[in-house]
A = this chain, B = another copy of it.
């Protein structure tokens, strides 16, 4: 079962609904990242309580640990990690790319040494599909080559980016063929590459559209390029993807990035930022970001975000979070992660309401003004 309905539009922005094997996902949606089968520092029950409808898992990491034998025994990732709602898994392409010089890319796939035990491994489009078949994620991603922004210290040229993008297209076909051969009952998304070159992005879109996949992602952004470059591609690419299919902007980003993506026609986002920043004492709030380690919060009785309804803000003060962080107490990242995820999820809830009521532009303007106001 897979369907996507666009319920309302405003400019390029869309309010939609994704129906997957394990449930429904209201879009635009932010998907928390559970790399190793756990959204770091947050109970699955807390994710459910805040209204999270879909989370991510990382194929590369789960392949290495706990490994396919364990995941097969549990019939997939859902039961293993105790998450009955929809799951999306990436393909491992981004992770092997992140290994840098330790990975060797060829037409066949990516060869690398396991960061866990040093084993020599080769990840191919076919193997990525086989792993994702075991994971049984509701949405699987094609294996792609994440095109680097810089190569050997200089910005990658159009020829290099084009060659990389075209290999990702060939890997998309191989992914699709293997996905079908494996009789995977879930949905496979393609990934648009093309770096910072609009013409290559359009070529990638055209070729992927011919594969008629259930959804499409935009990869190769937020990979070290200047912010303005990312914004140029995010403004250019999403609305050129097939209108009837969900559009997923991978690995992005700040709350502002999300609003820009939505305005450009994106339906789905994932990012480690809410949880990673939380662990570093960086809390997102309606009126700007809050660095809880700052000494100014030592005696501050206010909740992190007075306008927030999350369990952290309902019960705890900035002074308490500051103290927990200073003492290295585990509760500090737990409470901050809970708050940041709630903030992201709640912004998306507000966006969906605004889109449904035809006031997205006004909402986005107010959101931006509020965030810039400062605490």
Q: For residues 317 through 356 of chain A, which have their beta carbon under 8 Å from a beta carbon of chain B?
A: 317, 319-320, 322-324, 326-327, 329-331, 333-335
Given contacts A43-B331, A66-B298, A69-B299, contact A319 B74 (CB under 8 A): yes
Q: Which residues of A from 288 to 327 have beta carbons under 8 Å from B?
A: 298-299, 301, 311, 315-317, 319-320, 322-324, 326-327
* B44 with A315: CB separation less than 8 A: yes
Tell me if A85 is interfacial: C-beta within 8 Å of chain B. no
| Closest residue of B by beta carbon distance from A40 | B330
Cα–Cα, bound, A44→B36 (Å)? 26
Q: Which of B36, B80, B82, B324 contacts A329 (CB 8 A)?
A: B36
Q: Please determine whether A331 and B38 come into contact, CB atoms closer than 8 angstroms.
A: yes
Q: Cβ of A334: which chain B residues have Cβ within 8 Å of it?
A: 41, 43, 330, 334
Which B residues lie within 8 Å of A61 (CB)? 327
The answer on a CB contact under 8 Å between B70 and A298 is: yes
Contact across chains for A70 and B40 when beta carbons are under 8 A apart: no
Q: Which B residues touch A73, using CB under 8 A? A: 299, 301, 319
Min Cβ gap A105→B in Å is: 26
Size class of the A contact interface (CB-based, 8 Å): 35 or more
Minimum C-beta distance from A234 to chain B (A): 31
A37 at the interface (CB under 8 A from B): yes
- A43 surroundings in chain B (CB, below 8 A): 311, 331, 334-335
Judged by a CB distance under 8 angstroms, whether A45 is at the interface is yes
The answer, yes or no, to whether A240 is at the interface (CB within 8 Å) is no
CB of A222, distance to nearest CB on chain B (Å) = 24
**What is the CA–CA distance of A316 and B45 in the complex, to the nearest angstrom?**
12
User: Shortest CB–CB separation between residue A8 and chain B, in angstroms?
Assistant: 36
Residues on A close to B: CB < 8 A?
36-38, 40-45, 61, 65-66, 69-70, 73-74, 80-82, 298-299, 301, 311, 315-317, 319-320, 322-324, 326-327, 329-331, 333-335
Kindly state the separation between the CA atoms of A299 and B334 in the bound complex, as whole angstroms: 28
B-side contacts of A330, CB under 8 Å: 38, 40-41, 330, 333-334
State in angstroms the CA–CA spacing of A333 and B320 once bound together: 21
- A324 neighbours in B (Cβ, 8 Å): 36-38
Q: Select from chain B the residue with minimum beta-carbon distance to A311.
A: B45
CB-CB < 8 A to A80: which residues of B? 317, 319-320, 323
Is B323's CB under 8 angstroms from A36's CB?
yes
Q: Give the complex CA separation of A37 and B301 in angstroms.
A: 15
Across the interface, do A70 and B326 meet the contact criterion of CB distance under 8 Å? no
Whether A37 and B333, one on each chain, are in contact in the complex, defined by CB atoms closer than 8 angstroms, is no
Complex Cα gap A44–B334 (Å): 12
Q: With a CB–CB cut-off of 8 A, which chain B residues contact A311? A: 43, 45
The answer to whether B299 touches A36 (Cβ under 8 A) is no
**Residue in B closest to A338 when the chains form the complex, CB atoms:** B43
Q: How far is the CA of A324 from the CA of B38 in the complex (A)?
A: 8
Cα A226 to Cα B281 in complex, Å, equals 43
Chain B residue at smallest Cβ distance from A328: B36
Chain B contacts of A37 at CB under 8 A? 320, 323-324
Chain B: which residue is nearest A69 at the CB level? B299
Which residues of the other chain, B, contact A317 by a CB distance below 8 angstroms? 74, 80
**Minimum-distance CB pairs A-B, first 10:** A82-B315, A66-B323, A38-B331, A41-B330, A36-B327, A38-B329, A82-B316, A73-B299, A70-B299, A40-B330
Whether B40 lies near A82 (C-beta < 8 A) is no
Min CB distance, A311 to chain B, in Å?
A: 7
Report whether B74 and A301 are in contact in the complex, using a CB–CB cutoff of 8 Å. yes
